[in-house]
Amino acid sequence: MKILVTGGAGFMGSNMIHYLLKNYNDVEVINFDFLTYAGNLENLSDIQNDPRYRFIKGNIADEKSVDDVVSKGIDLIINYAAETHVDRSIMEPRAFIDTNIYGVYTLLEAVKKYKVPRIIQISTDEVYGAVMEGESDEKSQFEPRSPYSASKAAGDHLCHSYHVTFGVPVIMTHSVNFYGPFQFPEKLIPLFTCNLMDRKKVPVYGDGMQIREWIFTEDHCRAIDLISQKGNVGEAYNIGTGHRVPNLDVTRKLLEMTGCDDSHIEYVKDRVGHDRRYALNSQKLRMELGWEPQTSFDDGLAKTVEWYKTNQSWVNRCRSGEYANYYEKQYIKR
């Protein structure tokens, strides 16, 4: 089975490649990644000589590069390539439109043209917008509120339309917030962990009572594997754990795990248009496909913090160069 993982040098994509190579002998995995700031081949250094693995540098929004790969015959595409950070989408939305919309269009066209048997679109719970009470299921209306979530919603709509109009065999997935090893230190959990390891303060937006639902990366990989084998084409699947907590609770756990206290919290100006709460109903995935999360939040967080502690040089390289400029810009704007 020849699997094309787009965005395979990023956090989720690299975790998925590790998962596939660990669990299947008879796979050939092509990692197609443009190596933007969040893509890092170091994430895959342990498997770079594995004969089942190959890296190709390319942009999903570039028709020619996509055609070159897909025309050679692919059995499954898993599209992790995306711009994903909400704060960046507020400052510089353009890349989100290019990758999350035009890039998805380009992949769908290639799937149509070369008759790829299946493509999985990785998307987010954020397309449903802020959910003040109750849960979003797969039939809930899209109400994206940031350029990031709007671009993902547009990509998902394109997927749906390509299934209805052209019969493209696409499955959409909406996941809650991921965390785990290799996540770029701009998202809440890795940013706060890295700051605290350096005994720096952590910037809590607003009152810190915004609620997110969390999934450990390995649980997400298992869900994607199952959906790609047993899911119904043309449908969407929510992937959630039900573990919903305010950001301050996550922050306090990280303070404890790194030996810090509340004096390391800095309450900063809230994110513009900050979604107060996300909550997914993931019964369809559980009832129809029999998936259940296996890692508790406490265990997953402990594994994650341990990974960042033992991979300090990886963190240092991420935090140099382009990222450092971004970090500065973000804080000047507040």
Which residues are marked as active site? 125-126, 148
Q: Which is nearer to ligand TYD, 18 or 152 (CB)?
A: 152
Per the CB < 8 A criterion, the answer to whether 147 and 89 are in contact is yes
Q: Which is it for strands 177-179 and 211-216: parallel, antiparallel or unpaired?
A: parallel
Of 3-11, 114-122, 203-211, 303-311, the window that binds ligand TYD (rule: CB under 6 A) is 203-211
For residue 207, the minimal CB distance to ligand TYD (Å) is: 10
Q: How far is the CB of 191 from ligand TYD (least distance, A)?
A: 5
Candidates 118, 152, 212, 284; binder of ligand TYD (CB under 6 A) is 212
Closest distance between ligand TYD and the C-beta of residue 245, in Å?
A: 10
Q: Under a CB-based contact definition with an 8 Å cutoff, are residues 41 and 55 in contact?
A: yes
Q: What distance in Å separates the CA atoms of residue 120 and residue 196, rounded to the nearest whole number?
A: 36
Contact predicate 202/196, CB 8 Å: yes
The identity of residue 300, as a single letter, is: G
Nearer to ligand TYD, 251 or 281 (CB): 251
Q: How many helices and strands in the chain, by DSSP H and E? A: 13, 12
Write out the binding residues for ligand TYD, residues 161-180 only, by CB under 6 A.
177
**Should residue 239 be labelled a site residue for ligand TYD when binding is judged by CB under 6 A?**
no
Within 101-140, the residues that bind ligand TYD by CB under 6 A are: none
User: Residue 102 corresponds to which tokens in the numbers above?
Assistant: 């035009």
Nearer to ligand TYD, 201 or 309 (CB): 201
Least Å distance between CB 75 and ligand TYD?
Answer: 31
Q: What is the helix, strand, coil percentage profile of the chain, to 5?
A: 45, 20, 35
Q: Are 243 and 279 in contact (CB under 8 A)?
A: no
Tell me how crowded residue 116 is: count the other CB atoms within 10 A of its CB. 22
253 lies in the binding site for ligand TYD (CB under 6 A): no
Q: Which stretch binds ligand TYD (CB under 6 A): 63-71, 197-205, 291-299, 306-314?
A: 197-205
Is 88 a residue that touches ligand TYD (CB under 6 A)?
no
| Binding of residue 210 to ligand TYD (CB under 6 A) | yes
Q: How many residues does the chain have?
A: 334
Question: Are 83 and 10 spatial neighbours (Cβ–Cβ below 8 Å)?
Answer: no
To ligand TYD, the closest distance from the beta carbon of 175 in angstroms equals 11
Note the residues at the interface with ligand TYD (CB under 6 A): 86, 177, 187-188, 191, 203-205, 210, 212, 247, 271
